[in-house]
Amino acid sequence: MTAALGLLQEVAIKTPDTTGYLRMGYAAIGAIFAAYLLFLWMRARSEK
């Protein structure tokens, strides 16, 4: 248990804290484009 916690702590220290913001940024980009594509798809469907 102590070894596992130690390992986690080591990984957490080694992982730059900016990685979380990087993931957040690309998740936001994906969400915006996915939302717009869904909007286009719904409009196209309503015209069929």
Partner 1 sequence: MSLRTWVRTLWGLAAVLNGAALAMIFFYAPVEIQMGAVQKIFYYHVPSAIAGYVLLFLAFLFSILYLWKDDPSYDLLAYTTAEVGFVFITVVLVTGPIWGRSAWGKWWVWEPRLTSALILWLMYSAYFLLRLFSRHEARAARIAAVVAIIAFFDVPIVHKAIEWWGSIVHPKKVVLEPPMRQTFFVAMIAVFTLAAALTLTRFMVGKAEERRQAQREATP
Of these, 2, 3, 4, 16, which contacts partner 1 (CB under 8 A)? 16
Q: Binding residue for partner 1 (CB under 8 A) from 8, 32, 34, 38?
A: 32
The first and second tokens of residue 15, run together, are 């992982």
How many angstroms separate the CA atoms of 1 and 16, rounded?
Answer: 24
Nearer to partner 1, 5 or 44 (CB): 44
Residue by residue, what is the 3-state secondary structure of 19-48? HHHHHHHHHHHHHHHHHHHHHHHHHHHHCC
Residue ranges binding partner 1 (CB under 8 A): 16-19, 21-22, 24-26, 28-29, 32-33, 36-37, 40, 43-44, 47
